[in-house]
Amino acid sequence: MPAVRIKICGITRVEDALAAAAAGADAIGMVFYPASPRAVTAEQARAIVAALPPFVTSVGLFVDMPAAELAAILDVVPLDLLQFHGDETPDACSGHGRPYIKALRVRPGDDVAARVREFPDASGVLLDTYVPGIPGGTGEAFDWNLVPAELDKPVILAGGLTPENVGLAVAQVRPYAVDVSGGVEASKGIKDHDKVRAFIDAARAAC
């Protein structure tokens, strides 16, 4: 199977971003959601993006942020890709001058394919675990059998991934990419560099 792409999310420090890039991450994610313990300011994010080497994609995660606030962040932080993790409509995700991915929280009974079709302009969809009241970063995996074999968009698999289970996830789901945050942390918002390397190595070995 093609090489899986890897995103390390919840980055709050330059040194963690550089460690992820050095270990082979394709993308790093930063959380612009004040309620998250991994939230960053625009100034923090700008410093992180400025430190990234070439060909590492910078992703900003947003949860139902008003368009004016999002625009103010984009004026400061040159993000490559936007990730919408709330109840945003397709119109709310478009029109920001950046490609976007839409996160969908998966639970039994969902018609995942139909939900994906609601976002025709998305560059991809991120499938995460549904936990009531928590838009992401739950640290819990969902039943990967709920992921349809064929979807109209590239699939980024998230939710409870760790160095120990990411190889199985890649082999079973065969996603375009995998996304991890809590599974490679020393504490919330602080990455364990050994876990980051182990995660990336395990994901790549499964291909």
- The pLDDT value recorded for residue 135 is 63
Total structural domains in the chain? 1
In this prediction, residue 152 carries a pLDDT of: 86
pTM summary value: 0.95
pLDDT for position 141: 85
Which residues are identified as catalytic? 9, 128
The CA distance from 49 to 198, in Å, is 23
Give whichever of 107-116, 127-136, 189-198 has the largest mean pLDDT.
Answer: 189-198
Q: Report the CATH number at residue 131.
A: 3.20.20.70
pLDDT at site 194: 98
> Concatenated DSSP letters for the chain?
-PPPEEEE----SHHHHHHHHHHT-SEEEEE--TTSTTB--HHHHHHHHHHPPTT-EEEEEESS--HHHHHHHHHH---SEEEE-SS--HHHHSSSSS-EEEEEEE-TT--HHHHHHT-TT-SEEEEEE-BTTB-S-------GGGS-S--SS-EEE-SS--TTTHHHHHHHH--SEEEESGGGEEETTEE-HHHHHHHHHHHHHT-
Confidence at 138, pLDDT banded by 50, 70, 90: low
Which residues constitute the domain of residue 81?
5-206
For 4-57, the pLDDT digits (tens) are 999 999 999 999 999 999 999 999 999 999 999 999 999 999 999 999 999 999
Q: What would the pLDDT profile of 57-111 be if each residue is shown by its tens digit?
A: 999 999 999 999 999 999 999 999 999 999 999 999 998 999 999 999 998 888 9
Q: What is the pLDDT of residue 110?
A: 86
